[in-house]
A and B are shown apart, each in its own frame.
Chain A
Amino acid sequence: MSKIDLKVNGRSLSVESEPATPLLYILRNEVGLEGPKFGCGLGQCGACTVLINGAAVRSCITPVSAVKGEITTLEGLAPQGKLHPLQQAWIDEQVPQCGFCQNGQILNAKVLLDKTPHPTNAQIRQAMNDTLCRCMSYYRVQTAIKRASKAMAAGSPVAEEGVVA
Chain B
Amino acid sequence: MSIRNSVPQQVEDVLALHRRGFLKSAGLLMASLGSWATEAAAQSATTSQGPGPYPILDFRQVDSWIVIHENNTATFYVGKTDPGQGTGTGFRQLMSDELDIAFDKTTCIMGSTDITVDQIGSGGSTAMERDSWPMRRVAAEARRVLLEMASTRLGVPVDQLTVNNAVITAKSDASKRVSYGELIAGKKFHVTLTGDSIYTVTGKAKTKTVPELKYTGQSLQRDDIPAKVDGTLKWGTGVKLPGMVHARNVKPPYACAKLAAIDESSVKSLPGFIKVINKGNYVAVVCEREEQAIRAARQLKTTWEKPATAPFPTSEKLFDYMRTAPSASPRPSAPAVVGNPDGAFSAAAKTIEAEYEIPFQGHTALGGAHALADPSNGQMTIYSNDMKTYGMRRCVATFLGMPADRVRVVYMAGPQGFGRSAAEDAACEAAWIARDLGRPVRMQWMRDEETAWDTKSPAFFVKMRGALDAAGRLSGYDYLARSCDLNHVGYNEPDTVLIAQLMGARRANPAAGSAAMPSDMYAIPNRKMVGEVVGLPALWETPLRTGNLRDPNGPQATFATESFIDEAAAAAQADPLEFRLNLLQAATGDDSGFRRARSIAVLKAAAKAYGWEPRPSPVRRGTGNILTGRGIAYTFRGLTMVAQIAEVEVNRQTGHVWAKRLVCAHDCGLVVNPDGLRYTVECGALYGLSRALHEEVRFNTEKVTSVDWFSHPTLRHADTPDRIDVVQVNGDPNPNRPDLPPYGAGEAVLKPMLAAIGNAIFDATGVRIRRVPFRPDRVLAALKAAKV
Residues of A within 8 A of B (CB): 1, 18, 21-22, 25, 28-29, 32-35, 37-42, 44-45, 47, 73-78, 83, 87, 90-91, 94-103, 106, 121, 124-126, 128-142, 163-165
The SS class assigned to the A binding surface is: loop
- Decide: A99 and B679 in contact? CB cutoff 8 A: no
Q: Mark B662-705, 1 if CB is under 8 A from A, else 0.
A: 00000000000001100100111011011000000000000000
- Decide: A44 and B708 in contact? CB cutoff 8 A: yes
Identify which of A38, A39, A90, A141 contacts B717 (C-beta below 8 A).
A141
Q: Can you spell out 29 A-B residue pairs with CB atoms less than 8 angstroms apart?
A: A25-B290, A29-B240, A34-B233, A34-B237, A35-B231, A37-B415, A38-B237, A74-B231, A75-B230, A90-B229, A91-B225, A91-B226, A95-B225, A97-B84, A99-B224, A99-B228, A100-B366, A100-B416, A129-B717, A133-B366, A134-B364, A137-B683, A138-B716, A138-B717, A138-B720, A139-B720, A142-B717, A163-B675, A164-B218
Between B235, B676, B708, B709, the greatest number of chain A beta carbons within 10 A of the residue's beta carbon is seen for B709
**Top 3 A-B pairs, shortest CB-CB distance:** A99-B228, A98-B84, A97-B84
Further pairs besides A40-B709, A163-B219: 20, Cβ < 8 Å: A28-B238, A33-B231, A35-B231, A37-B235, A38-B444, A39-B367, A42-B709, A77-B231, A94-B225, A97-B84, A124-B717, A129-B716, A130-B716, A132-B714, A134-B365, A135-B366, A136-B684, A136-B686, A163-B221, A165-B220
- Decide: B290 and A99 in contact? CB cutoff 8 A: no
Query: What residues of B have a CB within 8 angstroms of the CB of A77 in the complex?
Result: 230-231
User: A138 with B219: in contact, given A18-B271, A91-B225, A97-B683 (CB under 8 Å)?
Assistant: no
- Decide: B231 and A126 in contact? CB cutoff 8 A: no
Identify which of A87, A129, A134, A139 contacts B230 (C-beta below 8 A).
A87
Query: What residues of B have a CB within 8 angstroms of the CB of A100 in the complex?
Result: 235, 365-367, 413-416
Residue of A with least CB distance to B715: A136
Residue of B with least CB distance to A130: B716
Residue of B with least CB distance to A87: B229
Query: What residues of A have a CB within 8 angstroms of the CB of B224 in the complex?
Result: 96, 99
Q: Smallest Cβ distance from A156 to chain B, in angstroms?
A: 18
Residue of B with least CB distance to A138: B720
Interface set, chain B 608-649, CB cutoff 8 A to A? none
Cα distance A124–B290 when bound, in Å? 35
- Decide: A1 and B717 in contact? CB cutoff 8 A: no
Q: Smallest Cβ distance from B579 to chain A, in angstroms?
A: 30
Q: B446 at the A/B interface (Cβ < 8 Å)? A: yes
Q: B722 at the A/B interface (Cβ < 8 Å)? A: yes
- Decide: A131 and B717 in contact? CB cutoff 8 A: yes
Cα distance A136–B220 when bound, in Å? 21
Q: B724 at the A/B interface (Cβ < 8 Å)? A: yes
User: A41 with B447: in contact, given A1-B271, A128-B717, A134-B366 (CB under 8 Å)?
Assistant: yes
User: A97 with B85: in contact, given A91-B229, A124-B717 (CB under 8 Å)?
Assistant: yes
- Decide: B231 and A94 in contact? CB cutoff 8 A: no
Between B222, B231, B271, the greatest number of chain A beta carbons within 10 A of the residue's beta carbon is seen for B231
User: A136 with B231: in contact, given A1-B271, A47-B367 (CB under 8 Å)?
Assistant: no
With contacts defined as CB atoms under 8 Å apart, how many contacts are there between chain A and chain B in the complex? 182
Between A47, A136, A142, A165, the greatest number of chain B beta carbons within 10 A of the residue's beta carbon is seen for A136
Query: What residues of B have a CB within 8 angstroms of the CB of A18 in the complex?
Result: 271, 291
Number of B interface residues, CB 8 Å?
62
Identify which of B84, B219, B721 contacts A164 (C-beta below 8 A).
B219
- Decide: B708 and A40 in contact? CB cutoff 8 A: yes
Q: Mark B59-83, 1 if CB is under 8 A from A, else 0.
A: 0000000000000000000000001
Q: Smallest Cβ distance from A102 to chain B, in angstroms?
A: 6
Q: Mark B412-430, 1 if CB is under 8 A from A, else 0.
A: 0111100000000000000
Q: Smallest Cβ distance from B86 to chain A, in angstroms?
A: 8
Interface set, chain B 193-245, CB cutoff 8 A to A? 218-222, 224-226, 228-235, 237-238, 240
Q: Mark B710-736, 1 if CB is under 8 A from A, else 0.
A: 100011111111101000000000000
- Decide: B233 and A99 in contact? CB cutoff 8 A: yes
Q: Smallest Cβ distance from A159 to chain B, in angstroms?
A: 11
- Decide: A73 and B231 in contact? CB cutoff 8 A: yes
Query: What residues of A have a CB within 8 angstroms of the CB of B715 in the complex?
Result: 136, 138
Q: Smallest Cβ distance from A51 to chain B, in angstroms?
A: 13
User: A125 with B717: in contact, given A38-B367, A99-B84, A139-B686 (CB under 8 Å)?
Assistant: yes
Query: What residues of A have a CB within 8 angstroms of the CB of B444 in the complex?
Result: 38
Q: Smallest Cβ distance from B566 to chain A, in angstroms?
A: 25
Q: B289 at the A/B interface (Cβ < 8 Å)? A: yes
Identify which of B228, B231, B291, B724 contacts A75 (C-beta below 8 A).
B231
Q: Smallest Cβ distance from A28 to chain B, in angstroms?
A: 7
Residue of B with least CB distance to A99: B228
Residue of A with least CB distance to B222: A94
Cα distance A9–B294 when bound, in Å? 27
- Decide: B714 and A134 in contact? CB cutoff 8 A: yes
Cα distance A73–B222 when bound, in Å? 24
Q: Smallest Cβ distance from A85 to chain B, in angstroms?
A: 12
Query: What residues of B have a CB within 8 angstroms of the CB of A41 in the complex?
Result: 294, 446-447
Q: Smallest Cβ distance from B594 to chain A, in angstroms?
A: 30
Query: What residues of B have a CB within 8 angstroms of the CB of A139 in the complex?
Result: 682, 686, 720-721, 724
- Decide: A29 and B447 in contact? CB cutoff 8 A: no
Q: Smallest Cβ distance from B80 to chain A, in angstroms?
A: 15
Residue of B with least CB distance to A34: B238
Q: Smallest Cβ distance from B664 to chain A, in angstroms?
A: 12
